[in-house]
Amino acid sequence: PRKFAVFGHPASHSLSPRIHAAFAAQFDQTLQYDIIDAAPEQLADALERFAAEGGVGANITVPHKVAAFELCAEVTDRARRSGAANVLTRVGDGWHGDNTDGTGLVRDLTGRRRLDLRGRHVLLLGAGGAARGVAVSMLDAGVRRITIVNRTPANADALVDTLAAPDHVGSRYWKDMRDIGDFELIINTTSAGRSGEMLDLPSSLVNTLTTAVDISYGEVSIGFLSWARAAGCRHAFDGLGMLVEQAALAYEHWHGKRPDTDEVFADLQSHSV
Ligand code: ATR
């Protein structure tokens, strides 16, 4: 049988096996889908071993998305522009890489949350690997402007340069955040929550229509979402919807069938923290 797996470090908490099993069940199929915990220096070997044992599809999670991208023999355009890959498919004796995270986020925002992204001004918090993918898909979805604010200003400026869309993307200093006005959409891509740190954010970023989304989910996102609710955001939600959508895009690529994400999302949300 064809084998699938998620690669991460840590990986044991991953919801991907459960999501892919639920998708397969919709088509009366069963899957072999494993969790593989590989330290960064073992990723390349672990992926080759997986392929040698019949592995044909891999989901890639933290912290491997950039390294996985660099291991690929070929990549999609959206993976190249994101500089990261979260879906690897075995083609011949190499990996084909795609990035479905950003498209997954856009599907969650526009489909599930009924948000119109066109013409919006987005505040993007963070300028790391995840921020890059999110920014690329926001531009593709037709937002008017992205303001990037990052703890280390040089990293924000580097991301602005990489995106090469000067009419649509700019950066501001974190310390000036009280002076940059309010936003219809605020996306937290920082890893602060993963290390238990709270972001220092002013409520002046928020108006009565603001949607706040953290691309993490579960406990990691609680700090940011608590701030968002206290600051008066109309909607505040985590990245569980994005997770399910990026998985559905991978599932469709591997199995040629488009799963229903709503029931899987509802089930996961009813069990989340
Ligand atoms: P990921 O792949 O999850 O994006 P990353 O590439 O390491 O991870 O990026 C982490 C991002 O979170 C960076 O933008 C980082 O800011 P710096 O560029 O200043 O390092 C941001 N970040 C991490 N901890 C943070 C904190 N406590 N406050 C604000 N930003 C933080």
Same-domain check for residues 139 and 15: no
CA-CA-CA-CA torsion sign (212, 215, 221, 224):
negative
Residue of 34, 39, 35, 43 lying closest to 12 (CA atoms): 35
Cα(254) to ligand 1 centroid in Å equals 32
Q: Which domain holds residue 119?
A: 102-238
What is the number of domains present in the chain? 2
* Statement: residue 155 has pLDDT above 60: yes
In the prediction, which pLDDT does 1 show?
A: 82
Query: For residue 170, what pLDDT band results from cuts at 50, 70 and 90?
Result: very high
Residue type, 239: G
Q: Which two tokens stand for residue 220?
A: 């990691």
User: Is-catalytic flag, 257?
Assistant: no
The answer to whether the CB of 150 is under 6 A from ligand 1 is: yes
Give the residue-averaged pLDDT of 1-5: 94
The answer to whether the CB of 152 is under 6 A from ligand 1 is: yes
Same-domain check for residues 71 and 186: no
Same-domain check for residues 66 and 155: no
CATH code of the domain covering residue 110:
3.40.50.720
Q: What is d(CA 78, CA 182) in angstroms, rounded to the nearest whole number?
A: 29
What's the longest Cα–Cα distance across the chain?
57
* Statement: residue 141 has pLDDT above 90: yes
Same-domain check for residues 161 and 138: yes
The answer to whether the CB of 192 is under 6 A from ligand 1 is: yes
* Statement: residue 150 has pLDDT above 90: yes
In the prediction, which pLDDT does 273 show?
A: 56
Please give the number of the atom of ligand 1 that sits closest to the Cα of 125. Answer: 14
Mutate to test the pocket of ligand 1, among 150, 190, 220 (most ligand atoms within 8 A of CB): 190
Cα(51) to ligand 1 centroid in Å equals 32
Query: For residue 228, what pLDDT band results from cuts at 50, 70 and 90?
Result: very high
Give the residue-averaged pLDDT of 226-233: 98
Q: What is the ipTM of this complex?
A: 0.98
The answer to whether the CB of 77 is under 6 A from ligand 1 is: no
Same-domain check for residues 130 and 63: no
Residue-averaged pLDDT of the chain: 97
* Statement: residue 106 has pLDDT above 60: yes
- Annotation-wise, does 108 bind a ligand? no
More confident site: 121 or 271? 121
Same-domain check for residues 160 and 187: yes
Distance (Å) of CA 239 to CA 9, 108, 155: 19, 9, 23
Distance (Å) of CA 27 to CA 104, 132, 160, 206, 250: 21, 34, 43, 43, 15
* Statement: residue 79 has pLDDT above 80: yes
Same-domain check for residues 266 and 254: yes
Question: Given strand 55-60, what is the order of strands in its sheet?
Answer: 32-37, 3-8, 55-60, 87-91, 94-98, 74-75
Cα(127) to ligand 1 centroid in Å equals 7
> pTM surpassing 0.90?
yes
Same-domain check for residues 28 and 145: no
